[in-house]
Structures are given as C-alpha cells and as structure tokens.
Amino acid sequence: MRSSGPYSRTKRANLPSLSRILTCLLLPLLTISPGALLYLLSQPSTSNTSRSFSGDLRDAEFSWNSLPLPFDKPAPTSLRIAVFSRKWPVLSAPGGMERHALTLHSFLSRRGHRIHVFTAAAPVSEKYDISSEYLKIHALKGRPNQWQCEEAWELYEAENRIEPFDVVHSESVAMHHRFASRVPNLAVSWHGIASEALQSGIYQDLIRSPDMDPALNRSLSMAVFKVINEIRFFKNYEHHIATSDSVGEILRDIYQVPERRVHVILNGVDEEKFGLDDELGNGFRSEIGIPEDAKIVMGIAGRLVRDKGHPLVYAAFKKLITTHSNVYLIIAGRGPWEQRYNGLGPNVITLGALPPSRLKAFYNAIDIFVHPTLRPQGLDQTLIESMLCGTPIMATRLPSIKGSLLVNKEFGFMFPPNVEALGAVMEAAVAEGRRRLEERGRKCREYARGRLTATKMAMAHERLFLCIKNESYCMYPLGFD
C-alpha cells in the first residue's frame, strides 16, 4: 500500500485559501462540490483526540491505542506477519527491550495471526520464550545474539516465497534501510531516535560539570550528524510506528516523513501483570521494614547509573531527609549508585534487582514513583507499569513523557532535570501526603487502562497491519468495530 497519495495532501494544503476565497465572495455552501463539503466537515478528525473519530486512520495524529477497537471479537482475517527483531526474549530472562515485541506478537498470535520472527541465535543453553503454535522463530545460524540482517533477509525471502507475508514488522533498524526500500508492506517501530539522543546528550552534559566535557562535545556533534543521517534514510521505510506522541511529531515535523506514513501507537504493558492490589503493597511495605507511620514512600526502579538521573535523586533526597525524617525511598535495581544510596542511612532501602513477579508488589507499596531519566528513548515501560498499579509518577520533563503519559497535571509531577527542581517537587509531594497521592494514582490508573495496556497496544497494531494488507481496513469505524 502506498498510503501517502499526493492527492489528499495537496487538497489539505489548499484548504485555507479555498475557505478564504469562499468567505470573501460570500458564496453559499451550495456551490461547493459534495466532496469538498464532506472534506470540510471531516476536518476535526485530524485533531489530537480520537473521540468520535471517523475516517481514514492514516490521517489520525492521535495514538491509535485510544480507539475503542473490539478485542473481544475475532480478527476479521488472519494475517501472516514477518517480524525482524535483533533479539528475542529467552525463557530465563524475559526482560529487556525486546519485551515489547514479545508482548505484542504473543498477543497477535493468540488472535490467530501467523507470526514468523527472524532473530539472532539464542544464547548457549537457552531457549526462546514461545507461547503459541502460531508463533515461529527463525533463529540465525551465527553466534548467539549476533544479528546479521543479510542472513535474516535470506531466511525471510525463503519463507516469503512459500507464502507471501501480508506485513513485515521491524523493531527499530533490525531491517536495514538498504532492504527496507524493497518492502512496500513494511512497518518499523521506533524505540528511540537520534533527535531524542541529542536532547539526552544535552541533559547529561548539563549535570556533569560547568565546563563542556570534550568527549561529550564530540558525541553531541556526532548526535547532530546522526539526526541528519536518520532524516536521509528513514524515508526508505514505508510505515513508521512512533511509540510516543512526541516522536510522531518529530517524524512529521523534523524528519519530513509524510504524515500518512506516521502512526502513533504507544507502548503498552500487560494489564494482567500490573494492577491495583493494596494488600500486596502493604505486605511488601512491612516485609522490607517500612514503619507504619511513614509519611511518604517514594520508589525508583531500573539501572542505577548516571544517565538515569541518579545523581539528581541522590542529592535531592539527601537534602529532603534533613527536614523530613519519616520519608522513605526504596530502590529496585542494580548499578554503581547502589552503594552511594546505601550511605544515606535508614530512610533509603535498596532491594537489588527485583524479579518481574515482585514488581507489582513494589509499585503497590510506594506512594509515588520517581523517574529522573535523562535519556528520552522511547516510552518507558516502568512509568506505565506504575500508572497501571495506581501509583502517580514524578518524572523528568521530557517531550515523550509530557506528551503521552503525564498529559494531565493530576497524574503527578514533572521537573526539569536539576537538583533544585527535583527537590521542589519532592517537597510538594510530601506536603500533599498519602491520601492526595492516592487520588492522583486512581486517575493515573484510569488513564493507563484506557490507553497503555498491552491489549490496547496490540489491537492498534492489528488494525494498522490490517490496513497495510488492505486499504479498506484503514477506514474507521467499520462494521465489526
């Protein structure tokens, strides 16, 4: 499907002048052709909301997650889907970046779509996590975790000759742009792009020292070249899936990808695994030794490294507890900053890396989730997990977070990445107290359940893939919606 017909784009570009002429001449609406009238009436459909949307979904700028798609009805047709992913989760460690692909394609395979995954060889003595007979893994022959796009391409072509795929899905640049230009039914998901990395470089440099670090200076200028390079090769990919609203905007406004080839589908998290459970949370609190009368418990999860913003939390929390003795910070994760946190005394509890099964208890145990990342790369899973568990968030003011998660001030707090600003929102949260934070958490959960669940994410992909197979599915709503 070539979705970006020049016809509709020209039409839109001419609209303002058309309506101005009409108004000037005071011509009655009667003289406009029915097609133009319909077009004028359908204008609100390109706004930022899905409420009462109807029309061609390729014109939508809002995230497809928010469409009420019928997950309880069978798919209108079964798709044959090829997936290019450098890695695939193994049974012993089903975490990491590729979790997105596993969640998505397991869901689609359960809906009867036939998924073929092309990925690197599994690590020695490991097996891939396969949950369905509809999901087949084609592992490369080479060394474990070694991705070779050429080899994957050959395997794909052999499979495509047996029966052509309806859709090809690439996780980031797993399918190299050299091959991408040959695949008209390709959709690529971007989990972080160079323009975001440029911003993260700026933030990291700012917290490092007052002087420009020469090494960072070099990597910052490299980042600019990477942006330019991406703008050049992104056009080889037919369909672009932006995993946050802000990346959608960047692709349209800076990367010059035609709007009808950019589709926003936010990441989603398995709502069966992350949900509200007060009892579980309270049990976790007493288990790790949080006193009953604790005023506020803040939590952090992830790798404890500098570019996740730990120098900021360390300094801000250290100051906070000089005036609030019964505020706590619990930390799930490993990394160089663990030891420093341990030096902060009894108000900080480090838990090491938590297994996925314990994360739900962790989110339910805390009053607010702190996410000071300096790396705006993709849409962070942990924030979504927290929101689904009914825990409000305190996060760096980044376009992806502001545009897709903290879209309402009720959902928590945002801060520019510096110690003073983080300290101020920490003070504000403490002053509010638990009851108010709980109320914010309820609103987070409501929002997340309407948009950020694995079901919402997967149904949005299904619809996009259907639309790539046959344009008639691009219209919304259809009989089965």
Ligand X SMILES: *[C@@H]1O[C@H](CO)[C@@H](O)[C@H](O)[C@H]1NC(C)=O
Whether residue 344 contacts residue 314, with contact meaning beta carbons closer than 8 Å, is answered with: yes
| Helix, strand or coil, per DSSP, at residue 369 | strand
Classify residue 139 by its DSSP letter: E
In angstroms, what is the minimal distance from the CB of 168 to ligand X?
A: 17
- Site for ligand X contains 472 (CB under 6 A): yes
Smallest separation (angstroms) from ligand X to the CB of 218: 8
Residue number with CB closer to ligand X (167 or 398): 167
Q: Which of residues 365-404 bind ligand X (CB under 6 A)?
A: none
| Residue window 160-199: x/- pattern of binding to ligand X, with contact defined by CB under 6 A | ----------------------------------------
Q: Which is nearer to ligand X, 240 or 469 (CB)?
A: 469
Residues 6+ apart with CB under 8 A from 229: 194
**Least distance CB 469 / ligand X (angstroms):** 8
> To the nearest whole angstrom, how small is the minimum distance from the Cβ of residue 472 to ligand X?
4
Give the distance, in angstroms, between the CA of residue 342 and the centroid of all CA atoms in the same chain: 32
Cβ neighbours of residue 142 closer than 8 Å, sequence gap 6 or more? 120, 121, 148, 151
Q: Which of 68, 470, 478, 480 binds ligand X (CB under 6 A)?
A: 470
Q: Check if the beta carbon of residue 288 is closer than 8 Å to that of residue 349.
A: yes
Which distant-in-sequence residues (6+ apart) come within 8 Å of 208 by Cβ? Answer: 216
In the bound state with ligand X, the residue whose beta carbon lies nearer, of 215 and 428, is 215
Residues binding ligand X: number (CB under 6 A): 6
* Closest to 197 (Cα-Cα) out of 395, 62, 373, 334: 373
**Site residues (CB under 6 A) for ligand X, limited to 220-279:** 221
Nearest 10 degrees: Cα torsion 424, 428, 430, 431 = 130
> How many CB atoms are located within 10 Å of the residue 452 CB?
29
Distance of CA 203 to the CA centre of its chain: 20
**Of 31, 47, 217, 325, which one interacts with ligand X (CB under 6 A)?**
217
Candidate residues 21, 38, 212, 407; the one interacting with ligand X per rule CB under 6 A: 212
Q: Residue 393 CB, nearest distance to ligand X (Å)?
A: 35
Query: Which of 35, 214, 352, 355 lies at the binding interface for ligand X (CB under 6 A)?
Result: 214
Sheet containing 262-264: which strands, arranged edge to edge? 135-144, 114-121, 80-84, 167-171, 186-190, 239-242, 262-264
Min CB(356)–ligand X separation in Å: 40
**Does residue 78 bind ligand X (CB under 6 A)?**
no
Closer Cβ to ligand X, 191 or 239, answer by number: 239
Residue from 239, 203, 179 nearest 377 by CA:
203
- Helix ranges restricted to H, 240-277: 245-253
Q: How far is the CB of 309 from ligand X (least distance, A)?
A: 24
167 vs 320 by CB, closer to ligand X: 167
Residue 215 touching ligand X (CB under 6 A): no
Applying CB under 6 A, which part among 42-50, 210-218, 222-230, 270-278 lies near ligand X? Answer: 210-218
For the CB of residue 289, give the shortest distance to ligand X in the complex, in Å: 47
Residue closer to ligand X, measured from CB, 54 or 342: 54
Give the span between the Cα atoms of 330 and 299, in whole angstroms.
Answer: 5
- Closer by beta carbon to ligand X, 227 or else 393: 227
360 neighbors 274 (Cβ within 8 angstroms): yes
Nearer residue to ligand X within complex by CB, 91 or 224: 224
CB 328 within 8 A of CB 297: yes
In a 10 Å sphere around its CB, with 0-12 CB exposed, 13-18 middle and 19+ buried, how is residue 21 labelled? Answer: exposed
- Which range touches ligand X (CB under 6 A), out of 190-198, 211-219, 399-407, 429-437? 211-219
Binding-site ranges for ligand X (CB under 6 A): 212, 214, 217, 221, 470, 472
